[in-house]
Amino acid sequence: MVIQLLGGVGFWILEPRTETLADGLWLAFTTAATVGYGDMVPSTHASRAFAVVVVLLGLTVLSLVTASLAAMFVETEERQIERDLMQELAALRSELREMRSELRQATAKREASR
């Protein structure tokens, strides 16, 4: 939001065709989103250079948001995998205890029969 607001103010100041702050905000939004409807375009060298900065910042923010969302989904999936692994580990430990007990009993019976 701050980037969009600063972009709108920047276009309002740098672009002579932007008559209002609302026009500057619209130009900043379409530029940052890389939509470029064509209804408003930067016409001066300064506003074009500013548009490059706005596009790069817009792509950066979009990438960060996308990466954060992806990380949340991956983290949720990783937690479920960890829970499943812990349950499996607990089941294996229980099975191992049972096998040790059976082995002790079989060993004791063998020793007793000698």
Report the chain (114 residues): mean pLDDT per 10 consecutive residues. 92 93 93 85 93 92 92 87 95 96 92 82
Residue type, 24: G
**Residue 57 burial by CB count (10 A; 0-12/13-18/19+): exposed, middle or buried?**
middle
Neighbours of 112 (CB within 10 A): 7
Which residue range forms the structural domain that includes residue 83?
Answer: 2-113
Q: Is the pTM of this model over 0.85?
A: no
For the domain that residue 93 is a member of, what is the CATH number? 1.10.287.70
pLDDT at position 3 is 87
pLDDT at position 95 is 97
Domains held by the chain: number: 1
Spatial separation of the C-alpha atoms in residues 28 and 58, rounded to whole Å: 9
